[in-house]
C-alpha cells in the first residue's frame, strides 16, 4: 500500500481500466492534482502488479467530509481484504487530519458491496439518488440505470469501531424487507430485461421507503428498512434524478 502521485498515478489508472474499462479512467493530471493538494490517492501493489486503488476529495455539503469517489480492486484479487485495507488506510489518514466522516455512493443492487459497506465497515445509508450519474458507458454499468445509495461512514463512531474490530452486525429482521439478487451483476449480463425490471421495481420501493423516513440495514435477503436509530441519519430523503 502506498500513496501515489506524479507518474505513479498510472498505477491507479491501470486498476480503473481493468475494473471499469477505458471510459472511466481518470486523467493522470487530475489524479496528480488531487494528490498534490493533499487528497487521498492510495494504491495497493504487489511485486509490481497493481491490485487496487482508492481516491477521493473533501466535501462540505452537510458538513465536512471526504467523498471517496472510486474504490477498485482488480477482479483476480477481490475478496482478499485489499479493499478493506485501502478503506482502513483512507480512514486513518482522515482521522489524522481531523476529518471524521467519509461518504461514497454505491449501486444498491450489488449485494457484495452492500454487505461490505454496511456490515464489514459499519457504514450507514443516508440517501437514495435515482439515476445519479445519468447514462453510463463503462464496461460494468453500460445499459443500466445509475441508481445509487449514499453511505455515511462515521469514522470515530462506536458502530464503525466495532465493525473494524470484527464484531459484525447480525442481519436485521425487524422492518420492511427489500430483497435483492445475490448476484445482480451476472443477472443483468445474462438477462438484461429482467435486470431492468428488478432495477425499476426496487427504485419504486426505495423511493417510497426513503420518503417515509426509513433507512436500510443489511438483512438476510437484502435490505430491511426501519426508522433510523439516530436523528442524524434523517438528513436526506429521496433525491430527484440528477446528472453528474
- pLDDT given for residue 234 in this prediction: 44
From CA 227, how far away is CA 240, in angstroms rounded?
A: 21
- pLDDT given for residue 2 in this prediction: 85
**Alpha-helical regions (H) of 3-146:** 9-20, 28-36, 82-96, 111-115
Give the pLDDT of the chain (244 residues) as one tens digit per residue: 788 888 888 999 999 899 888 888 989 999 999 998 988 898 999 888 889 999 999 999 999 999 999 998 988 888 888 999 999 999 999 999 999 999 999 999 999 999 999 999 999 999 999 999 887 776 677 778 889 999 999 999 999 999 999 887 888 888 999 999 999 999 998 999 999 999 999 999 999 999 999 999 999 999 999 998 754 444 444 443 333 3
- pLDDT given for residue 238 in this prediction: 46
- Does residue 13 sit in helix, strand or coil? helix
Contact 70, 55 (CB under 8 A): yes
- pLDDT given for residue 143 in this prediction: 75
- pLDDT given for residue 230 in this prediction: 57
For the chain, strand residue ranges (E) read: 2-3, 41-46, 49-59, 65-73, 101-106, 124-129, 148-154, 176-179, 215-218, 222-226
* CA 4 to centroid of chain Cα atoms: 21
Contact 190, 240 (CB under 8 A): no
What domains appear along the chain, each with residue ranges and CATH number? 2-170 (3.40.630.30)
- pLDDT given for residue 233 in this prediction: 45
In the structure grid, which three cell numbers stand for residue 89, read together? Answer: 488506510
- pLDDT given for residue 94 in this prediction: 94
Contact 220, 171 (CB under 8 A): yes
Amino acid at each position: 500500500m502506498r500513496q501515489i502521485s506524479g507518474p505513479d498515478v498510472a498505477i491507479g489508472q491501470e486498476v480503473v481500466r481493468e475494473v471499469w474499462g477505458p471510459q472511466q479512467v481518470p486523467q493522470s493530471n487530475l489524479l496528480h492534482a488531487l494528490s498534490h493538494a493533499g487528497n487521498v490517492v492510495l494504491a495497493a501493489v504487489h511485486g509490481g502488479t497493481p491490485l487496487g486503488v482508492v481516491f477521493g476529495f473533501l466535501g462540505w455539503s452537510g458538513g465536512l467530509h471526504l467523498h471517496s469517489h472510486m474504490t477498485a480492486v482488480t477482479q483476480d484479487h477481490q475478496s482478499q481484504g485489499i479493499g478493506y485495507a485501502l478503506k482502513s488506510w483512507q480512514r486513518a489518514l482522515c482521522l489524522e487530519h481531523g476529518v471524521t466522516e467519509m461518504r461514497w455512493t454505491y449501486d444498491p443492487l450489488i449485494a457484495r458491496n452492500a454487505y461490505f459497506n454496511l456490515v464489514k465497515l459499519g457504514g450507514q445509508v443516508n440517501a437514495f439518488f435515482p439515476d445519479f450519474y445519468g447514462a453510463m458507458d463503462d464496461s460494468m454499468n453500460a445499459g443500466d440505470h445509475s441508481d445509487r445509495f449514499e453511505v455515511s461512514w462515521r469514522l470515530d463512531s462506536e458502530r464503525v469501531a466495532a465493525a473494524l474490530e470484527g464484531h459484525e452486525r447480525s442481519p436485521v429482521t425487524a422492518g420492511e424487507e427489500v430483497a435483492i439478487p445475490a448476484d445482480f451483476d451476472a443477472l443483468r449480463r445474462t438477462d438484461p430485461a429482467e435486470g431492468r425490471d428488478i432495477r425499476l421495481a426496487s427504485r419504486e420501493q426505495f423511493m417510497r421507503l426513503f420518503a417515509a423516513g426509513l433507512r436500510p440495514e443489511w438483512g438476510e435477503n437484502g435490505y430491511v428498512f426501519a426508522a433510523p436509530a439516530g436523528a442524524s441519519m434523517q438528513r436526506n430523503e429521496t433525491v430527484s434524478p440528477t446528472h453528474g
